[in-house]
Amino acid sequence: MIIQDYIDYWNEQDIELDKIKLESVHAIPLPVDILEFLSMVGLPKEAAPYLTFNITSFPAFVSPDDLYDLEDRPDLSDWFIIGETGNSDPICIDPMGGYRICYVETENEFNAVFMNSSLDKLAICIYLYEKFIEKFSTEESENLVFNDADWEYLKKQFMDIDPEALSEGSFWDYYLEYLLVDRD
């Protein structure tokens, strides 16, 4: 049910979900469940916190190794870039890491930062984060207005979906903590 909520939410926001073309699926060396998600559900072209996705050009996407000519980082050569963060760091699928989702810090020796344990969990976490921002945004303030219980509930939702997503130093650990720091 939550995937349908995800699709409905982006339709209501009038934000297109970017999908790969069905005829491209056979040429992409990813598991069937990921290919089905990318071709039937998709990812928003833009989403909070500062994420962009452009999977339409799949399979032309390159690895971070190819994009940045990282001869000393062969571990990144099998990764698939699916988007980028607000800092223009590539968001990738890591086939050797169980198809986890990470972004690669281009300004920090190309270290990988964990985002989610799977693509569908990334999509759901983006959806939950967006819904939280929408719910607690006000016209009177640039910052969100929410209480600790609201934040704890969001954190619980993330834990229910993907406990690893909130591990120390992860992408979502940072952005959920940022919500607390930046609120009114």
Query: pLDDT tens digits, residue range 41-76?
Result: 999 999 999 999 987 765 445 677 777 777 767 778
- Identify the sign of the CA torsion 22, 27, 28, 33: positive
Which pLDDT score is estimated for 121? Answer: 97
Number of neighbours of residue 77 by Cβ within 10 angstroms: 14
Q: DSSP H helical segments within the chain, as ranges? A: 2-12, 32-36, 64-68, 119-136, 148-161, 171-182
Q: How many whole angstroms from its chain centre is CA 126? A: 6
What SS3 class is residue 44? strand
Are 142 and 183 in contact by the 8 Å Cβ rule? The answer is: no
> Domain locations in the chain?
2-118, 121-182
For residue 65, what are its two tokens?
A: 């190794």
Prediction pTM value: 0.91
Q: Is the pLDDT reported for residue 158 higher than 70?
A: yes
**17-18 and 51-53: which strand pairing?**
unpaired
Query: pLDDT tens digits, residue range 60-119?
Result: 456 777 777 777 677 787 888 999 999 999 999 999 999 999 999 999 988 999 999 999
Average pLDDT, the chain: 89
